[in-house]
Amino acid sequence: MRTAVEPVEVRRPSAVRALTTLLAVTAAATVAVELLNYWYAPEQEFGLAVRTGWAMLRSLGFVLLIGQVNKGRVGARPFGLILAVTTIFAVGRLIVPREGVPALPGLVGFAALGALCVAVVVLLYRSDAVRAHLVRHRRGLVVEGGTISWREVVPKRPQANGWLLTARVAAFTYSPLMLVPALVATGSVLDGRIAAVPALFLWFGAGIAVSYAVLFCTAFLLRGRGWARRALVVVTLGVLALDLPLCWWLLGVDGLIRDGAPLLTAAALTLYSLHRTTPTP
């Protein structure tokens, strides 16, 4: 067998290079704003530390998104949309203290980070050059006609539109958005609320199970199965029915707003994306 020669890489458009630079700046700004918020927080408690750490991990998401953009992956657009929206929620819920007004540096940092996230979404969805660049699928070994080549592997399933990919990415955020408040709630259990231990185990177990349920549903959703669409709707409603009452019970109204609102937003985006797609006959 002979090995095919790799194609010569062409220079990326200026809009794509600007997008990767913007993503790097946004990743750095996410870390800086979170550290600033934690520094000015009146109470540096366990729950705030967990939420701050989770928000800072989003900087790694922007780094991964840079790799997806450089490779021209078609899934970079929905990934960037979900990452930008949830980052705004993750940071916004931390700048407001339980009492009093937010610190001015935190507000300025949040405004700057929000502007960066909006700019990322605008470039991803409004730039023709970026849209034309993000059309590739993953690469892999392909054996064809006695030749082994490392090239793009086009999926055998029908081409999924952008709304289906958005619904898939949004649904994959359910599990971490459930596990983070569950981890925060362990602080209240350690404070003596022993009766909440079974509910806490249920919360953690459901958060892990949801990731597998979403993986199963979206795998068939991209193949045009109608039952997978209905199953994902049921999973979404079940996640809301379980997570929101637990947030209110174990974390109070403050936790319901801080941790329930991002999950509610992801669920709304998933349902809206499914609504915008046309079921395959």
85-143 pLDDT, tens digit per residue, is 888 887 777 776 666 667 787 788 889 999 999 999 999 988 888 888 887 756 555 55
Mark residue 103 as left, alpha or beta (left: phi above 0; alpha: psi -120 to 50; beta: remaining).
Answer: beta
Query: 113: which 2 tokens?
Result: 């980070």
Q: Find how far residue 144's CA is from the centre of its chain.
A: 37
Which one is predicted more confidently, 190 or 181? Answer: 181
Query: 150: which 2 tokens?
Result: 């490392």
Secondary-structure percent of the chain, ordered helix, strand, coil, rounded to 5? 75, 5, 20
Classify 151 as helix, strand or coil: strand
Task: Give the pairing of strands 2-3 and 147-152.
Answer: parallel
Residue pLDDT, tens place only, 133-185: 887 756 555 555 556 555 555 555 555 567 888 888 889 999 999 998 898 88
Residue 8: predicted pLDDT: 46
Residue 212: predicted pLDDT: 95
CA 33 – CA 124 distance, rounded (Å): 23
Question: Which range has highest mean pLDDT (60-74, 186-200, 212-226, 235-249)?
Answer: 235-249
Which one is predicted more confidently, 163 or 191? Answer: 163
Residue 1: predicted pLDDT: 43
If you average pLDDT over residues 182-207, what whole number do you get?
Answer: 82
Which has the closest alpha carbon to 228: 240, 214, 242?
Answer: 214
Q: What is the mean pLDDT of the chain?
A: 81
For residue 170, CA distances in Å to 205, 221, 247 come to 20, 13, 20
Which one is predicted more confidently, 11 or 235? Answer: 235
If you average pLDDT over residues 252-281, what whole number do you get?
Answer: 83
Question: Which range has highest mean pLDDT (5-14, 190-199, 233-242, 245-254)?
Answer: 233-242
DSSP 194: G
Residue 251: predicted pLDDT: 85
Residue 205 has pLDDT above 80, yes or no: yes
Q: How many helices (H) and strands (E) does the chain have?
A: 10, 3
Residue 197: predicted pLDDT: 85
Residue pLDDT, tens place only, 8-51: 455 678 889 999 999 999 999 988 888 887 787 766 677 777 87
Query: 26: which 2 tokens?
Result: 């946004």
CA 218 – CA 250 distance, rounded (Å): 31
The fraction of the chain above a pLDDT of 70, given in percent, is 79
CA 266 – CA 230 distance, rounded (Å): 17
Residue 115: predicted pLDDT: 94
If you average pLDDT over residues 59-79, what whole number do you get?
Answer: 88
CA 234 – CA 125 distance, rounded (Å): 29
Query: 140: which 2 tokens?
Result: 């892999």
Query: 62: which 2 tokens?
Result: 């922007």
Residue 223: predicted pLDDT: 82
The fraction of the chain above a pLDDT of 90, given in percent, is 29
Residue 66: predicted pLDDT: 93
